Amino acid sequence: MNVNATVFAQALNFFITYLMLRQFLFRPAVAIIEQENAQEHALLEIIAQQKKSLEIQEKERQRHWYICQEYFNIHRPSLHPKTFSSSDETEQYVTDFSVSPDAIAETISTVSKTLEEKLKHVH
The model's pTM: 0.45
CA distance 115 to 123: 14
User: Does the pLDDT value for residue 100 go beyond 60?
Assistant: yes
pLDDT grade for 83, boundaries at 50, 70 and 90: low
Q: Render the burial of 12-38: b for 16+ CB within 10 Å, e for the rest.
A: eeeeeeeeeeeeeeeeeeeeeeeeeee
Domain that holds residue 61: 1-75
Q: Do 41 and 85 reside in the same domain of the chain?
A: no
Q: What is the pLDDT of residue 59?
A: 95
Mean pLDDT over residues 96-117, rounded?
A: 84
Q: What is the pLDDT of residue 55?
A: 95
Q: What is the pLDDT of residue 118?
A: 81
Q: What is the pLDDT of residue 16?
A: 96
Q: Do 71 and 83 reside in the same domain of the chain?
A: no
Strand partners, 96: 83
Q: Using alpha carbons, list the distances in angstroms from residue 29 to 40, 54, 62, 89.
A: 17, 37, 49, 99
Total residue length of the chain:
123
Number of domains in the chain: 2
pLDDT digits (tens, 9 = 90+) for 43-73: 999 999 999 999 999 999 999 999 999 998 8
Q: Do 63 and 106 reside in the same domain of the chain?
A: no
Q: Do 62 and 85 reside in the same domain of the chain?
A: no
User: Does the pLDDT value for residue 13 go beyond 80?
Assistant: yes
CA distance 34 to 49: 23
pLDDT grade for 117, boundaries at 50, 70 and 90: confident
Residue 69 in contact with residue 56, Cβ under 8 Å?
A: no
Distance of CA 4 to the CA centre of its chain: 72
Cα atoms in the Cβ-side hemisphere of radius 13 Å centred on 114? 6
Can you tell me whether residue 79 is helix, strand or coil?
Answer: coil
